[in-house]
Amino acid sequence: MTFANLLTPDNQNIKKDDLRFYLFSTQLYLLCLIIHAALIVFFFLIKVYLMTIFNLFSCILFASVVIINKRGLLNLAYHLALIEITIHSSFATLCLGWQSNFCFYSVAICSVIMFTTFLKLYIKLIEIALSSFLYLFTYGYIIKHSTLYNADVFHINIIGFVNIIVMISLLTSIFYRFFLETSILNDKLKTAAETDSLTGAYNRRFFNEYVDIEAKRLLSELNYTTESKHQINFGIAIIDIDNFKKINDTYGHLVGDNVLIEVVEIIKKSIFSRDLICRYGGEEFVVLFTRTSKDGAIIASEKIRKEVEQHRFIFNDEIKNGQITISIGFACFDENMSYNIESILQLADKRLYTAKASGKNKLIYE
C-alpha cells in the first residue's frame, strides 16, 4: 500500500517521514485502550474501585488519543498518552505498591521519549526529568506512608506478573522498531553514498572502489587459475552523450536530466546484472563488464549505441521523437600488461576522444 493510500481527508498533514511512527503509535494507543478496558473489569472484580474509575477515565482518554492521532495530530496525541501513562503508573503504584510492578512503565516511558523522532533533545531531557521526579516522589511517599489499598497478595502478584510480561513485550517492540528504523536509515545512507541521485546509476566514488576490488580479484584468478585470460577478463566502456550541452541550452536542463535518466535505463537493459554502470561525469558514463570476454563486451557496447540511436526522446510538446547519439571508447583488461586500472581508463578515454573527433556516434575499441 502506498503512502497516499494510507492518508484520509482528516490526516493529510502527516509527513511521509512520520508515517511509520503514525502506524506504530496508532497500534500502541489501541493496545493501551484494550488493556485499560481489561483493567476496569479486573479492578472492579477485586473491589479496588478507585482504580476502576481511574481506568474508566483512561479508556476515554485513549479513545480520544486514537482519534486525535488519526487526524494527524501526532505530537498532541503522543503527549496526552505520555501524560496518562506516567500519571497512571504512579497512581497505581501508590494504590497497590511496588510489587504491582507498575513502576516498570517508567523505563518504557524513557525509551519511548528517547526514540521519538520529532522531539528536540532538550524537550526529551525535560520530559524524562519530569517523569523521573514523579516516580521519585511516589517512591518517597510509599516509604513514608502505606499504600492506599491493602489488596490481596495473590491479586497483586497477578498484576505484577502481567505488567512484567507487558513491559518485556513493549520494550522488545520498541527496540525492534528502533532497529528497523536504523536499518532503513543505514540503507538510505548507503544508497546515497553509492549512487547518483538523478539517474540511479552508481557514482564515481563507488566505481573507483568497486573496480579496484574487481581488479584484485582478477589478478588473483590469473595467478591461481589455469583458465585463459579471455575467459575471466573484463572490459571498461566510457560512454559520452553527443552534443549534450546543445540539448541543455536548447531545451532546458529538465529535458537534459530526462535524457540522462533514459540513457541509463537503456544501458541497464543492455547489460547483465553482474555488470556495473556509473555516472562518471556530467553526461559521461562508465560501464564495467565483469567476467565477460572482449568480444562479448564489444557486442554489448555496440548494442547500447544502437539502442540509444533508435530511441525516441521527448524534448518538448512539438518534438516528441527527438534523437540523440552516443560515442563509446572501450578498453579491455588484457590490453595493458601491467593491469593498471588507471591505464585502462586512460586507454578507453583516448578511444572515446577518437570516436568524438571522427564524427561521433561511434564505438572505438582498438
Enzyme catalytic residues: 283
* Cα–Cα distance, 276 to 270 (Å, whole number): 11
Do 36 and 57 form a contact (C-beta atoms < 8 A)?
Answer: no
Coil vs helix vs strand at 328:
strand
Beta-carbon contacts of 157 under 8 Å, excluding residues fewer than 6 positions away, are: 99
Say if residues 276 and 287 touch (Cβ distance below 8 Å).
Answer: yes
CA distance 179 to 184: 9
State how far the Cα of 297 lies from the Cα of 335, in Å rounded to an integer.
14
CA 48 – CA 156 distance, rounded (Å): 11
Contact 335, 327 (CB under 8 A): no
204 neighbors 280 (Cβ within 8 angstroms): yes
CA dihedral sign of residues 194, 302, 366, 283: negative
Contact 195, 203 (CB under 8 A): yes
323 closest CA partner among 336, 312, 334: 312
276-279 and 202-203 strand pairing: parallel
Helices (H), the chain: 3-6, 19-45, 49-70, 74-96, 105-115, 121-144, 153-194, 204-224, 229-232, 244-251, 253-270, 294-310, 341-357
Q: Whole-angstrom Cα distance, residue 240 to residue 245?
A: 11
How far separated are the first and last CA of the chain, in Å rounded? 51
